[in-house]
Amino acid sequence: MTSERFTSTATTTCGYCGVGCRLEAHADHGRIVSIAPALDGPANEGHTCLKGRFAHQFTRSRDRLTSPLIREGKGLRVASWEEAYARIVSELTRIKSQHGPDAIAGLASSRATNEDCYAMARLMRAAIGTNNIDNCSRVCHSPTSFALRKSLGLSGATGSFTDIDHAEVAVLIGVNPTQGHPVVGARIKQAALRGTKLVTIDPRRIELADYGVLHLSPRPGTNAAVALGLCHVVQRDGLTDEQFIAQRTSGYEAVVELLEAYSPHAVQEITGIPAADIERAAHIYGEAASASILWGLGVTEHKYGSEVVQLLCNLALMTGKLGKPGSAMLPLRGQNNVQGSSDMGALPDTYTAYRSVADEAVAAQFEQAWGVPLSRQKGYTIPQMFDAAVAGKLKAMYIFGEDVAQSDPDTAHVVEALESLEFLVCQEIFENETTRYADVILPASAFLEKSGTFTNAERRFQRVEPAIDPPGGARTDFEIITTVSRMLGHEMGWQTPWDALDEIARLTPQYAGLSYERLGRHGLQWPVAADGTDSPTLYETRFETADGLGHFAALPYKAPGDAPDNEFQLVMVTGRVLQHYNAGTMTRRTHNLDLVDRDWLEIHPDDAARLWISDGDRVSVRSRVGQTQLYARVTPRIEPGHVFTSFHFPETRTNLLIGQSADVNTACPEYKVVAVDVRPMSEQPAFTPQLVSA
Amino acid sequence: MSRNLVELIRRHDGIAAPTALDLLKESVAARGELTEEDLQRTAAVTGLPEATVYGISTFYDDLRAPRGERHVRVCTGTACFAATGGSHVQALSEGLGLDLGSVRDDGSVSLAETVCLGFCHSSPAVFDGEVIVAGPGAVAQVLSDSPTPAPQPQWHSLLPEPVLTRPGDWSGLRRALSELDPQQLLELVVSAEIRGRGGAGFPAGVKWRFVRAAAGDEKYVVANGDEGDPGSYIDKYLMEQNPELVLEGMALAGLAVGAAHGFILVRSEYPESKPSLDAAIERARQAGFLGERILGSDFSFEITVVEGAGSYVVGEETALLACLEGLRGTVSARPPFPAERGLYGRPTVVNNVETLANVPFIAARGAEAYQALSPNSASSGSKLVCFNERFNQPTVVEVPFGMSVRELCENVAGGLRDGGRIKAVQIGGPLGGILPAARLDTAFDFDALAAEGCMVGHGSILAFDELTDMRALAVHLLRFGAHESCGKCFPCRIGLRRAHDMFAADAPVDRARFEQLLETLELGSLCAHGSGMPAPLRSLLRHFPQELSLA
Amino acid sequence: MSDTVRIDGVQLEVAPGTTILEAAKLAGRWVPTLCFDERQAPFGACRVCMVGVEGSANPLPACTTVCRDGMNVSTEDPTARRVAGAVVELVLSELPAAPAPHTELAQVAQRLQVGAELRWPGAVHAVDHDLEHPYLAFQHELCISCGRCVRACDEVQGAFALTAVGRGFDANVAAGLDGGFLHSSCVSCGACADTCPTDAITEQLLLVGGNGNSAVAAGV
């Protein structure tokens, strides 16, 4: 397909999942007419999925926000930008003077560019004066980030997607790439057909299990026991790399002691996985010359999600399967910029590259660059923000690109928090559940309408270029944030996002070599040295911990936060389907809706028969905190005792079912283990999702 | 051939299970047609994608032609054409009241065409239900519903000591296992300079060497029994009358290259071949010539017979392998060659049935004895030839290389019947050139025939008498060519259809344009089907231009 | 270890196993192709990538011929170009209408300067459309059986939703059990539309938008 057919073509980076496909976006008369994969895209190699390629019509959906809205009485009315900015500045200034800067919090977005997130963090830190800045990776991969830093040093994949091609073995745990990360899913499938041995570990028999050598179905919430069982067998049967352990790690002895308790039979008791399968999986991994581990939210969104990631690091450390081709640890990031939004310091405790806000030297450097004093106190995490709002300590929020009332757990609590705020700014492309509570709504831009960079799941900074302009009066996020900052009295001094990128590079040794020119068409994988050399593989010779060693973590298995009982007999896990993306804000405004038009509840034929549920029946799903209704899909892909649903349709309000249980280290919600009661709806009355307590 | 599909097959049930093609054939045999459920079940059982199964179901004649309770297949091969000019097809069609490829509304009778039934010694031939009838009364027998099985052809040898027409006695394998090591056996076959008998004439020993040298423990021997050349019934003779010789040749190939499993692909048009081979395999197993630890040695070898489903191009080696895997029998570009990546992706020897039948003699008697079989020719060994129904003695004959075509036609086959005179002969199948009567003194060997634009091919000698309409022959050949094109490469897929339509139209053929098309086919085609079909057309243009109505 | 080859007089070193087509690309020389896509294994079906090779009596397909040390290749060998042009002419002759100018087929034809007059006109493919899918449109009459969509679905996406069907002139491509994209294992990735050299498979949006075949657009 040649570009002469179109008035313009932009080479950009996909704004859906964390794979980071490079796209050629063709536009004609201000509309996207076709998107094709860039042949030289390093992550996608000329391929993309139906979301990247086709799901772009939302950009010109009739209900796009195209002018600012401000609250007047009970309703919202159209306002000019000047009015909207004035309202924001006066309210934030008032609240700051009455309650102090820490009464204000901001959320950056894992959907936005690095430059947007960096600007948002700077807005909160420099213009407001608080570290109350977080982003939505809190609710997905914060456990990954935490654990990788603890065990290995850096918060990112240790290798690249190409390691999948070179791996003799790939272990997939808690991840369903053919649905959630389709282009990597396709890559894994091809590798498996060429001979890479796949071991899949998931409560559901995911599609890739059909191409693998072994599938393990643990009970939801027992991943830690699986990891410990694998380590037990590896250690017991001498599949360890003793030289690697001796030279490059610390803390192994404590792990050996801990592992004694996790014999395959003990693990079978906990997980339900046959002991022989644990043995086999351990041998497949341990005996391979090269093996990679891939995981997703099925690992992280648990009470002990971060600990499981540490245990997986143990497995890689004890077998020396790190820092070499084919042996990588690859977390598959859910959103396009989960990696970058946190890298950029849109977190309550860190500046760019995870440097602590309490680190005097770092803080001083930023103070000098920004010309303002900066707080050394950690700010609120997202759940803490909601708690603080309910408690009356947090008065204002500036939420940018996240529908917290839809996506975050314990919806009732979130709603109460939003209602408790004195002032809420939402910067969005569509109205959503959260904007209902907003005092000012700012019409912003989608990924096809802006410049900057995204960082994909293999730590690759890639350019984002606009294919079209924001519609109507909508503006780019970068322009909005820098303008608000200026009006609050803090001039950031940038003309374009590329100026922000230069500042990020200047103030962050790990990103020192980044520049618009050097990124070129193929991007750069951080760390990027000052001369522009990037890092496809980490830890070839040392880990990036203080002592340069990989750190084993002796962490026992602990039961998940929820468990089935007589009243709630089934365990529900949640996940994505290929055709939709997260809250569905974008994909439901495209023809993807013609392909999949609802969330389904997958249930095993045995459970379905026991509960008198037939395929296609409408069923009620009730948890300890909420209730909703779904249509049942009876399938043997899920084990008896478990059910699965996606969360793409707001009318389902799946998150009404999720309680407050969260990862012990990072507060990432435990989306993946919820005890539920499922029963058929004998009748189908008009339905409104509701809270049990209401 | 899709590597991924082959891998899916390997992973699902490996090579032991029935293939998708097997299952589809069973369904057609059971119900006369393929339903959507048949396709879905086949996909589920084989682990192949539904689309792939659908693609297979649209490739093979046996799966595409609708079937009634009584399925009548009329041979439209070249020998039958030479015998009747095609009138038998018309007579049968009119008699049954059915067009080719149709079935009666009540499902009682169906009529299809087939190329060819290998009864070229007794044309025309009709496959009526389970019975093949042949000869001048064939159509009448079918129409009166009193089919009588046609007699099989005779055979004899001109050699003082027959090689290919002596019953196989496993003496070659005995000697190989007791006196030779596999490497020595291989070198023996190399030095015997045996060239492939399937048409391409590639030295068999060289092929074997590649396979022996290829990496991996899992290797295969494949005997190509897909003798699709209209006019030829040589492999049919070997497989049905002398199967031990073929099996012994396969076992020797396995021993030489390090393979433990052999496959023979036979045609569904030869209903007797598979039973005959299966029976011979069972006898050989009982006698210890096949199976585990043959004759007490470390060598084990199994043979599986697989039946095709109606496709000429499946005789091409890469298409043959695809068919054995149960996939669409389309040609694949080489490299990779089968010796490197063949059946189920593993190194594979693919030899014609007759080529393999030569090997026992070489193993038993040595390379020199083999080369001495044809003292008057540079080509070594002997050759089976067969003659069509127009001849007085239409039989299979083992001959040395180097006799003239005239000697073969006049002395060996006794000239044409009923005092007919040879107008031309086509040697070696539909891709072979046509030798006019004036050039019958050409020697019958690889090089001399090549110089005449002809080839030994598979050794069929098919005479056209003076009544033959050469333009009709051109249409006949091109119709076959276009129908059998596998559809993969563009020149053959489109070019043969265009070539056919030019001659089939009721108008003079623009010679210059036609020759440009032939060049495109010759130089552009992926396999010998497209590049070889021009040869007989070139012969006709050269020797019979006045009969073709050219412009 | 590397082999030295000359492509149109340009000498270059290539890794063992490099095809002539890859070497020509390295040398900056154009070789026409229709069934080739760098994302897929060479297929060798279209026979348009013919080149002259010193010592070979006949032209060879560049996509499946591996370079040998010392090989001397001419991409503009007259015989090779004659065959390539004739094949493209044959392909054009099987379509009921000329391919849209932006398509790869139209561009190859233009560059080889063929198609103004067809030496071998004749039967064309019957019009048959699958427009049920929200994004993908299949206009079977434009299919030239190059196999790129089938291989994209197999070697790139791994959805195995497409197959070659039929044989000879009637060869075409089908989704699933010929029920169309929506009733197949298609995952709507669009890799087939992306690689199609004739727009036989293309995007619905491009048809409706008027950039594609107007007859189809009118039918949507």
Dihedral of CA B141/B142/B146/B149: which sign? positive
Rounded to whole angstroms, how far apart are CA atoms C127 and C108?
Answer: 23
Fold of B470-547: de novo design (two linked rop proteins) (1.20.1440)
Q: Whole-angstrom Cα distance, residue A466 to residue A13? A: 10
Q: For residues B207 and B358, what is the distance between their CA atoms, to the nearest angstrom?
A: 15
| Contact present, A459 and A57 (Cβ < 8 Å) | no
Contact A190 B4 (CB under 8 A): yes
CA distance to B168, B202, B528, per residue, from B196 (Å): 20, 5, 14
Q: Which among A291, A278, A272 is positioned nearest to A198, based on CA atoms?
A: A291
Residue in B with minimal Cα distance to A212: B11
C102–A2 CB contact, under 8 Å: yes
DSSP at A209: G
Higher-confidence position of B377 and B395: B395
Of the partner residues B55, B517, B525, the one whose CB lies closest to the CB of residue C120: B517
Cα C156 to Cα C153: distance, rounded to the nearest angstrom: 6
Residue of C nearest to B50 (CA): C176
Ordered alpha helix ranges (H), A508-649 = 516-519, 592-595, 605-610
Measured CA to CA, the distance from residue C9 to residue C183 in angstroms comes to: 52
- Please enumerate residues of B whose Cβ is less than 8 A from a Cβ of A: 3-4, 7-8
Contact between B359 and B197 under an 8 Å Cβ cutoff? The reply is: no
- Partners for A (CB, 8 Å, 3+ pairs)? B, C
CB contact under 8 A, A46 and C189: no
* Whole-number percent of chain A with pLDDT over 90: 83
Structure tokens at B30: 């059971």
User: How much is the mean pLDDT over chain B?
Assistant: 95
Q: What pLDDT, on the 0 to 100 scale, is given for residue C220?
A: 28
Give CA–CA dist B364/B377, Å, rounded. 22
H or E segment at A182?
A: helix A182-194
How far is Cα A435 from Cα A398, in angstroms, rounded to an integer?
A: 11
Q: Does the domain spanning B382-465 belong to CATH 3.10.20.600? A: yes
B135-181 pLDDT, tens digit per residue, is: 999 999 999 988 899 999 999 999 998 999 999 999 999 999 999 99
In the block, tokens 């859906």 appear at A16
Q: Assign A625 a pLDDT band (cuts: 50, 70, 90).
A: confident
Which residue from C70, C93, C86, C69 is spatially nearest to C32, judged by alpha carbons? C86
The answer to whether the Cβ–Cβ distance between A45 and C39 falls below 8 Å is yes
Percent of chain C as helix, strand, coil, to the nearest 5: 30, 15, 50
C158 touches chain A (CB under 8 A): yes
Note the pLDDT tens digit of each residue in A140-184.
Answer: 788 999 999 999 999 999 999 999 999 999 999 999 999 999 999
Residues of A contacting chain C (CB within 8 angstroms): 1-2, 4-5, 28, 33-34, 36-37, 39, 45-50, 53-54, 178, 182, 186, 189-190, 193, 578-579, 591-592, 594-595
Query: Rounded to an integer, what distance in angstroms lies between the CA atom of residue B23 and that of residue B8?
Result: 17
Closest-CA distance, C10 to chain B, in angstroms, reads 25
Minimal CA separation from C119 to chain B, in Å: 7
Low-confidence ranges of chain C (pLDDT < 50): 209-220
pLDDT at B255 > cutoff 60: yes
Q: What is the pLDDT of residue C210?
A: 43
- pLDDT of A670 reads 85
Residue A267 near residue A229, CB atoms below 8 Å: yes
| Higher-pLDDT residue of A458, C215 | A458
Q: Which chains touch C (3 or more CB pairs under 8 A)?
A: A, B
CB interface of A with B, residues 420-459, below 8 Å: none
Cα angle, residue A93 at apex, residues A89 and A98 outer, rounded to 5°:
155
What mean pLDDT is predicted for residues B252-257? Answer: 97
Question: Which neighbouring-strand residues pair with C72?
Answer: C6
All structural domains of chain C, each given as residue ranges with its CATH number in brackets, are: 1-124 (3.10.20.740), 129-219 (3.30.70.20)
Q: What is the identity of the amino acid at B496?
A: L
Fold classification of B70-143 is Glutaredoxin (3.40.30)
Interface of C with A in 61-90 (CB under 8 A): none
* Residues on chain C touching A34 (C-beta within 8 angstroms): 203, 205-206
Q: A190 CB near a chain B CB, below 8 Å?
A: yes
Task: Report percent pLDDT > 70 for chain B.
Answer: 100
CATH number of A570-691: 2.40.40.20, 3.40.50.300, 3.40.1080.10, 3.90.1150.10? Answer: 2.40.40.20
CB contact A636 to B (< 8 Å): no
Q: Name every chain C residue with its beta carbon within 8 A of the beta carbon of A45.
A: 39
The pLDDT, as a whole number, for residue A688 is 54
What pLDDT score does C215 carry? Answer: 35
Quote the distance between the C-alpha of residue A556 and its chain's center: 26
Q: Compute the distance between CA of residue C115 and CA of residue C100 in angstroms, rounded to an integer.
A: 13
Q: Could you give the C-alpha distances from B298 to B221, B291, B292, in angstroms and in order?
A: 18, 11, 8
- The domain limits of chain A are 70-139+343-520, 142-331, 570-691
Residue A417 pLDDT > 90: yes
Which chain A residue has the Cα nearest residue C106?
A: A1
Q: Residue A691 pLDDT more than 70?
A: no
Q: Do C187 and A50 touch (CB under 8 A)?
A: yes
pLDDT given for residue A686 in this prediction: 47
Tell which of C102, C181, C205, C207 to mutate to test the A interface (max A CBs under 10 Å).
C205
The model's pLDDT over A2-35, given as tens digits with 9 standing for 90+, comes to 446 889 999 999 999 999 999 999 999 889 999 9
Using an 8 Å Cβ cutoff, are B504 and B480 in contact?
no
- In angstroms, rounded to a whole number, what is the distance separating the alpha carbons of residues B401 and B403? 6
Examine the pLDDT at A425 and tell me if it is beyond 90.
yes
Which one of A188, A193, A194, A214 would you mutate to disrupt binding with B, by most B Cβ within 10 Å of its Cβ?
A193
C residues 23-62 closer than 8 Å to A (CB): 38-39
Q: Is the pLDDT of residue B198 over 60?
A: yes
DSSP state of A669: B
pLDDT at residue number A2? 44
| pLDDT band, very low/low/confident/very high, at A584 (cuts 50, 70, 90) | confident
Structure tokens at A312: 């997986």
Mean pLDDT over residues A306-326, rounded?
A: 97
Does position A301 have pLDDT exceeding 90, yes or no? no
Residue B416 backbone class (left: φ over 0; alpha: ψ -120 to 50; beta: rest): beta
Instruction: Give the separation between CA B250 and CA B176, rounded to whole angstroms.
Output: 13
Name the superfamily (CATH) of residues B155-371.
NADH-ubiquinone oxidoreductase 51kDa subunit (3.40.50.11540)
Q: How many CB atoms lie within 10 A of CB A383?
A: 22
Q: Which residues of B267-284 are buried (b: 16+ CB within 10 A; e: fewer)?
A: bbbbbbbbebbbebbeeb
DSSP state of A210: G
Domain boundaries along the sequence of chain B? 3-58, 70-143, 155-371, 382-465, 470-547
β-pair type (A197-201, A169-173)? parallel
**Token pair recorded at residue A555:** 């962490």
Residue pairs spanning A and B at CB distance below 8 A: 7
For residue range B72-91, what is the model confidence (pLDDT) as tens digits? 999 999 999 999 999 999 99
- For B345, the closest chain A residue by CA position comes to A194
**Inter-chain contact C169–B494, Cβ cutoff 8 Å?**
yes
Residue C191 touches partner A, C-beta closer than 8 Å: yes
Residues of C in contact with A53 (CB under 8 A): 135, 189-190, 194
Distance between CA atoms of B103 and B112, rounded to whole angstroms? 9
Return the CATH number of the domain spanning residue range A70-139+343-520: 3.40.50.740
User: For a pLDDT cut of 70, what percent of chain A falls above it?
Assistant: 98
- Chain-chain contact of C206 with A33 (C-beta, under 8 angstroms): yes
Give me the residue label for tokens 């009682």.
B108
Give partners of B (≥3 CB pairs < 8 A).
Answer: A, C
Residue range A551-583, pLDDT digits in tens: 999 999 999 888 889 999 999 988 888 888 877
Strands A674-680 and A570-575: antiparallel
Chain C residues touching residue A46 (CB < 8 angstroms) = 38-39, 156, 194
Task: Assess whether pLDDT exceeds 50 at residue A489.
Answer: yes
Which of B54, B311, B484 comes nearest C163 by C-beta?
A: B54
Q: In the CATH hierarchy, which fold is given to the domain comprising A142-331?
A: Dimethylsulfoxide Reductase; domain 2 (3.40.228)
Which segments within A192-339 are labelled E, that is strand?
Answer: 197-201, 214-216, 249-250, 291-295, 329-331
